[in-house]
Amino acid sequence: MRSVLVTGAASGIGEGLASGLARAGLHVAVTDLERHDTGSVVARIRAEGGSAEAVALDVTSDDSVAAALGALSRSPDVIINNAGLQHVAPLEEFPIAKWEYLVQVMLVGSARLTRAVLPGMRQRGFGRIINIGSTAGLKGYPYVAAYVAAKHAVIGFTRALALEHAKSGITVNALCPGYTDTDLVRQSIETVRAKTGSSAEAVLGQLTAANPQGRLVRPQEVAAAALWLASDEAAGVTGQAIAIDGGESVA
């Protein structure tokens, strides 16, 4: 049984990834800032007959990364760098400390965890690094400049690392969902609603209008793509930014 570590897995896309991969037979290390936050996810996975463990992990800390990897029952064959957060504001009102923290979590944090697991993957001759990007890494959106910048950088990081490890049995790819039905998107809708005076329904309509299919992406769709990238059959796929967006990025 292969093992996957998912960051930011207490909710949203991370929870969907953890649950979907466990159902497919992988052992899942469900990680988030606080171990107790992941307990309910692990309990649901185990209730369904899956294999999972909960581990606290702060991707902005070298010590936390080392402690989390040391606490695992097995070394991860696959890591999914999913941890992320959002802040909505025009640039002039965007606190620089908040900007720096977003970049630390989504870009530097991904590099920090990846660097820590690479030696073991190289030794085993197999590894899958899956970075959760976004359509925000493929295009621009207003009022989320730090998020857009970080996600563009994640895709650049993905491409560079894929070339570094092309002959090692390790692949590195990014999944780029469009607006996904998660708490993070719901919170962003509420923030935009409060700032603009629009109704939540109107803001949601604007988001779904960007998707040619006219809907939010489901977390299960992201999990299905991650499962394929984690497989032996996807060995020839590396350095890719795969959009899951109903055609938004090509419309």
List, in order, residues 6 or more apart from 190 with CB less than 8 Å away: 200
Asked whether the beta carbons of 56 and 68 are under 8 A apart, the reply is yes
Six-digit token string for 48:
């369904």
List, in order, residues 6 or more apart from 81 with CB less than 8 Å away: 7, 59, 109, 110, 113, 114, 129, 130, 131, 132, 154
In the residue annotation, 147 being an active-site residue is answered as: yes
Q: Residue 112 belongs to what H/E stretch?
A: helix 109-124
Long-range contacts of 63-71, Cβ-Cβ distance < 8 Å, separation of 24 or more: 65/112, 65/113, 65/116, 66/116, 68/31, 69/116, 69/117
Q: Phi/psi at 51 (nearest 5 deg)?
A: -115, 125
Q: Which residues pair with 129 in a beta bridge?
A: 79, 172
Q: Which of the residues 101, 141, 143, 147 is marked catalytic?
A: 147
Neighbours of 25 (CB within 10 A): 12
- Active centre residues (catalytic): 147
